[in-house]
Amino acid sequence: MSIIAAYDAESGAHESGGARAAILLLALGSQGAARILKHLSPDEIRIIRESAASLPTVGPEHIDEVVDDFQSYFKKGAALTGPGKEMVELLENALSREEYVSIFDPDSRDPALADLLDNNREGDVWEAIAGMEAVPLSQKLLGEHPQLVAIVLARLPPEMASAIIREFVPAMRNDVMRRILTLKPLQYTVQTVLEGQIRRNFVTTGGDTEEGGSHAFLAEIVNRLDKDSSEEVLESLRASRPKDAEALEKLLFAFEDLPSLPLKSRLTLFDAVDAEVMVRALRGAGPEIVELVLSSLGARARRMAEAELKQDVTLQKSEIDGARREIAKQALRLAGEGKLVLREQLED
């Protein structure tokens, strides 16, 4: 059921849901309505405009009835003397020219854009991409321009983006990482065309981005890479974007970085780490790291861990790496919550 249909079914009023939605949008004005219109489909926007055209003058009391959640704001508002005309003006202000024409003037709109608008209503293309297997998707992305690859990866969960990045050769991997840092929001038409292309090439065949947000997203990807790959990314950034590399390094943490944790932070970390995960992560680790971790445990927990480490157990490298990534992930989570610091704070 569409938003308008649901509104119609629940309102119980003599107007249709589209008419009541039109009154609400007109009362909000262009700026307020623009934020709502972005969440409506072209069909729903058409219904609202058609409903507004048949409305008589709407008085303040009627507005209060429709938007009772905002009664104190709207009760002093002026009457809507020409809802049909005002709705046209509001839509022209709230939508871009391309959006308006594509919805209300099918004969004059760009056929390619019209097809894309219709195709993109089949579902969220990014959800569809996120549901694909990482390795096959990485093979498809290999033939694409690095900028397109960066846009796609920036929309995916970090775990999946990291799995895809691992499949790239270092040169492409580093190029894509740099581009993620500088991504800007896309215009509506560009984004629509891009999503249509992605749907056709990948799915059917198989707000301003702040700099800090880019660093955090990139850090989540790099934190999931192996040590050699993450160091290659950092070296590339140090050479081309030293400030970004410095900001990124502050957000990175791996199992091998445990010695940088202050004692209090280590105690906090290993109090939160599952004992089995910790023992698995220590398999094959150097004696310094092993002692560092064991010294962070209570006497009883240490004896149990030492006893388990003495047992002859065969583990896959992937199991050990996974346990180490889990410890690093816990450290980053606790740091994000302000419960520990990843490195000693240097005094000026």
H or E stretch covering 269: helix 263-272
Do the domains at 3-95 and 125-249 have one common CATH topology?
yes
Helices 83-94 and 97-104, packing angle to 10 deg: 130
User: Model's pTM, two decimal places?
Assistant: 0.42
Residue 61 is encoded by which pair of tokens?
């009391």
Q: CA-CA distance, 251 to 65, in Å (whole number)?
A: 51
What is the distance, to the nearest Å, from the Cα of residue 194 to the centroid of all Cα atoms in its chain? Answer: 17
pLDDT per residue, tens digit, the chain (348 aa), is 444 444 444 444 456 777 877 887 777 777 667 777 777 777 788 888 888 887 778 777 776 676 664 444 344 444 555 556 666 666 666 666 555 555 555 454 444 444 444 444 445 677 777 777 787 788 888 877 788 888 888 888 888 888 888 888 888 888 888 888 887 776 655 566 566 666 666 654 443 344 455 666 677 777 777 777 778 778 877 877 788 778 777 778 888 889 989 999 999 999 999 999 999 999 999 999 999 999 999 999 999 999 999 998 888 988 998 899 899 888 888 887 888 888 775 444
Q: CA-CA distance, 326 to 333, in Å (whole number)?
A: 10
Q: CA-CA distance, 51 to 53, in Å (whole number)?
A: 5
77, 70 contact by CB (below 8 A): no
Residue 226 is encoded by which pair of tokens?
């192996």
Q: Which fold has domain 125-249?
A: Annexin V; domain 1 (1.10.220)
H or E stretch covering 106: none
For position 26, what pLDDT does the model report?
A: 78
CATH top-level class of 255-336: mainly alpha
Q: Which of 279, 262, 266, 109 is nearest to 189 (CA)?
A: 109
Spatial CB neighbours of 293, under 8 Å, sequence gap ≥ 6: 258, 266, 270, 278, 282, 285, 305
CATH top-level class of 3-95: mainly alpha
For position 103, what pLDDT does the model report?
A: 56
Q: Where are the domains of the chain?
A: 3-95, 125-249, 255-336
- Which CB contacts under 8 angstroms, 24+ apart, belong to 312-318? 313/283, 315/280, 315/283
Q: CA-CA distance, 53 to 85, in Å (whole number)?
A: 7
